[in-house]
Amino acid sequence: MTPSSAAIAIVGRPNVGKSTLFNRLIGSRQAVTAKEAGTTRDRVQHIYNLEGYEVELTDTGGLASGKKDDLEHDMEKQAKIGIEQSDLIVFVVDTIQSLTAEDFEVANLLRRSKKPVILVANKCDNQNIEENMFNIYELGFGEPVLVSAIHKVGIDILEDTMVANLKKLKIKKKTKAKIKAEEESDNLKISIVGRPNAGKSSLLNGFLGEERVIVSDIPGTTRDSTDTVIEYENEEITLTDTAGLRRRGKIEKGIEKFSSLRCKDSIERSDVSVILLDATEPVTAQDLHIIELILKEKKGLIIAVNKVDLSNENEKEYILRKLRRKCDFIPWAPLVFISAKNKKNIFKILDLALEIKASRETEISTSKINSFLKKTTLKHLPAAGKSIAKYFYGNQAGTNPPRFMLFFKNAGKLHFSYRRYIENEMRKEFGFEGTPISLTFRETSTTTKEK
C-alpha cells in the first residue's frame, strides 16, 4: 500500500449490514446483499475517492462464533486477512437487536489487531434503538457513529470520521498528477467466467500467488464479482472472479440471481473474458450460453480448458475435436490448456489477453483497407444472387472492438457466405485474434445491413 492510499476494512458479525454499507460508500451495488446471513464470502474490494484520499475499501464475510464447517472457516480466514491488511477498521453492529456474544468476540479480535477502529451502529432508524444502545459502549470503542446504510442516514458523518482518522494516520491525498494519470489510464480488464466449480477462484488465486478468494468443492461458493488489480509485464491488469453461471432455468431467486447479474455486469465491464471449461466435462450447453453472452457484448474471448492434470493426451485430443465441432463459429478465439490448481500454463492467458487488447485497439488506415478489399473482392467476386454486386470503398468506424463500414452496390443481397469470406480474409491480413470484429455492409444509398 502506497503512502497516498489507505486500506479500510468493514467488519462485524453476519447480517449486520456490512455489504449494504460498503455499496453505499462506494456509490454502486457491487457487493451482493440479502437477508440471509453469510451472503458475503470472499473479500470484496473497491478503490474509490474519499475527499481526495485514495481508499481501498474491503467488505468482509461475517465473523461468527461456535463450530464452523470448512466454508465458514475459509470465510473467517478471508475476513481476518482483510483486518490484517487494513489501516483502519469500520466495525459494524446492528441496533435492531441487542449485542450478541459474537459482537464482543469481534471487538476482542479488533483490539488484538491494534488497528484504529470506527464503531458504526447500523439500522439506527428503527424504533428499538434506545433500548439496544445501552451496552454498545461496553465494546470499548467509544461513541458510535449512528447510520442507516439502507436509507443513507449518517453516511456523511461516517465519511467525515473516516477522513479524520486518515489524517491522524498521516495518509497523503492524491496529487493532481496521480489523478490525471488514473484518468488517462486504460488498463486491461479481464473477467473470468464459467460454470460453477470450473476452477475460476483457483485461477485467480494462481495469478495472485495467494488465497485471495475462497476455493471450495461446493458449487456456488463465489457470490460476488471480485476485482483485483495486478501488475504483469509492466501493465496493470484488473482481474474479476465471478460467480458461476448456471442455466437460466436453474438460477434460484435471491442471492444467486443477484450473483448472476453481477457476473453479466463483469463481462460488460471487461475487455477480455476468459471462459473456463472443465476438462472432465467440456463444452456443455451452458458453456455455449456463456460464450453467447460474451459475443453479444463483443468482448475479447479466450477459451481455457482447466483441470488438464486429470486428462491424458488422448483425452486432450478428444476435447480439441469437440471444441472444433461445437465452437466452429469462433475459430478466432485462442485455446489454452491449463491447471489452475498447479498453476500450469496459467500465465499464457495473460499473454494472450494483452495481445487481444492490442488487436482490439488496432487502427487501419483507409488506404490500406481499400487496397486490401479491392484485391480481396477481385480474387473472389461478390455473390448477390441474380443481381450484380460491386465493392466501392470502406473505412474503419471505431475500435474496441474493431468496426468497419464497407460500401457495396446491392449490399443487402450479398450472400452470408461472402460476408464470412470478407471477415476471414481481414483476419488473415490484419490479425484480430481473440476479438470479434464488426462489419457493416452498406449500400451506396441508405440501406444498411450489419453482420
Residue 38 reports pLDDT greater than 50: no
Determine the 3-state secondary structure of 225 from DSSP. coil
The CATH code that applies to domain 186-360 is: 3.40.50.300
Of 143 and 316, the one with more pLDDT: 143
For residue 424, the model assigns a pLDDT of 93
Tell me whether the CATH fold assigned to 5-179 matches the one assigned to 366-450. Answer: no
Residue 64 reports pLDDT greater than 70: no
For residue 65, the model assigns a pLDDT of 56
For residue 76, the model assigns a pLDDT of 66
Residue 333 is placed in which grid cell? 478465439
Contact assessment for residue 60 and residue 9, using Cβ atoms and an 8 Å cutoff = yes
pLDDT tens sequence across 252-264 = 443 344 445 666 8
pLDDT tens sequence across 178-211 = 655 555 557 899 999 888 778 888 898 888 887 6
Mean of pLDDT values over 149-164 = 94
Contact assessment for residue 19 and residue 31, using Cβ atoms and an 8 Å cutoff = yes
Cα(308)–Cα(339) distance, integer angstroms: 6
In order of 328, 413, 448, the CA distances from 373 in angstroms are 25, 18, 19
Residue 176 reports pLDDT greater than 80: no
Mean of pLDDT values over 397-411 = 92
For residue 401, the model assigns a pLDDT of 93
The full length of the chain comes to: 451
Cα(278)–Cα(203) distance, integer angstroms: 12
Predicted confidence band of residue 177 (pLDDT cuts 50, 70, 90): low
For residue 201, the model assigns a pLDDT of 81
Q: What pTM was estimated for this model as a whole? A: 0.66
For residue 1, the model assigns a pLDDT of 40
- CATH architecture of the region 5-179: 3-Layer(aba) Sandwich (3.40)
In order of 308, 325, 346, the CA distances from 342 in angstroms are 10, 29, 9
Structural element, H or E, at residue 90: strand 88-94
Round the average pLDDT of the chain to a whole number and report it: 81
Alpha helices for 85-154 (secondary structure H): 101-113, 129-132
Longest Cα–Cα distance of the chain, Å, equals 88
Structural element, H or E, at residue 351: helix 347-360
For residue 261, the model assigns a pLDDT of 63
Helices then strands, counting H and E runs in the chain, come out as 13, 16
For residue 164, the model assigns a pLDDT of 95
> What are the residue ranges spanned by the domains of the chain?
5-179, 186-360, 366-450
For residue 212, the model assigns a pLDDT of 52
For residue 223, the model assigns a pLDDT of 40
Rg (CA), the chain: 26
pLDDT tens sequence across 338-373 = 998 899 999 999 999 999 999 999 999 999 999 999
Q: Which of 4-18, 123-137, 156-170 has the highest mean pLDDT?
A: 156-170
For residue 96, the model assigns a pLDDT of 87
Choose among 306, 369, 373: nearest CA to 342.
306
366-450 CATH pick, 3.30.300.20, 3.20.20.70, 1.10.10.60, 3.20.20.140:
3.30.300.20
Pairing of the two strands 448-450 and 438-443: antiparallel
For residue 42, the model assigns a pLDDT of 47
For residue 227, the model assigns a pLDDT of 74
Choose among 396, 284, 287: nearest CA to 333.
287
Cα(234)–Cα(295) distance, integer angstroms: 29
Structural element, H or E, at residue 55: strand 53-59
pLDDT tens sequence across 99-116 = 888 899 889 989 999 999
Taking the CA of residue 380 as centre, how many other CA atoms within 13 Å lie in the half-sphere pointing to its CB?
15
Of 310 and 112, the one with more pLDDT: 112
For residue 259, the model assigns a pLDDT of 47
Percent above pLDDT 70 for the chain:
78
For residue 368, the model assigns a pLDDT of 95
Residue 216 reports pLDDT greater than 70: no
For residue 330, the model assigns a pLDDT of 92
Query: Kindly report the CA angle at 303 between 329 and 198, in degrees rounded to 5?
Result: 125
Mean of pLDDT values over 410-425 = 89
Q: Lowest-pLDDT range, 77-81, 226-230, 353-357, 364-368?
A: 77-81
**Which residues pair with residue 237 across a beta bridge?**
188, 230
Of 77 and 431, the one with more pLDDT: 431
Of 149 and 448, the one with more pLDDT: 149
Q: Other C-beta atoms within 10 Å of 445: how many?
A: 9
Cα(345)–Cα(361) distance, integer angstroms: 26
Predicted confidence band of residue 43 (pLDDT cuts 50, 70, 90): low
